[in-house]
Structure 1
Amino acid sequence: MATMTIRMPDEDAELVRRFASFEGVTISAFARSAILEKIEDTHDLQALRQAIADDSGERFSIDEVLSELR
């Protein structure tokens, strides 16, 4: 497993320590989760932007969708 070092001001480090403690997780678990969530959010935003760019403007009512599923 790789090790990474993060440098931050003491006040920020204390905030991270306190928040991780509040959540009942280690600092490593908190940082790993936060980093991976940020990556996922960025990926989701890129997918949304692509979907908007590809949008043809065609829309369907809920009744039309349900009738197709039956």
Structure 2
Amino acid sequence: MSTMTVRMSEQDAELVRRFAKFEGVTISDFARTAILERIEDSYDLHELREAIAQDSGDRYSIDEVLSDLA
């Protein structure tokens, strides 16, 4: 497992410590989750932008979709 160091002000570090304690997780778990969620959000936004760029504009009601599935 790798170790990473994050440099921040003492004020920010205290905020992180308090928030992790409030959430009942270690600072490492909190940081890992926050970083991976940020990466996932960025990926999702990229996928959304691609989908919008390729959107044909066609829209279907729920009734149309359900009738096609029947």
Structure 2 length normalisation: TM-score? 0.98
Q: Give the partner amino acid of 1:3.
A: T
Q: What residue is the counterpart of 1:37 in the other structure?
A: 37
Two-structure CA RMSD over aligned residues (Å): 0.4
Q: Give the partner amino acid of 1:59.
A: R
Show CA shifts across 1:21-40 (max 9, x none). Answer: 00000000000000000000
Q: Percent identity?
A: 73
Q: How many aligned residue pairs are there? A: 70
Give the gaps of 5 or more residues in structure 1.
Answer: none
Flag as ranges the 4+ runs of structure 1 deviating above 3 A.
none
Q: What residue is the counterpart of 1:7 in the other structure?
A: 7
**Pairing of 1:19-38 with structure 2 (within 5 A):** 19-38=19-38
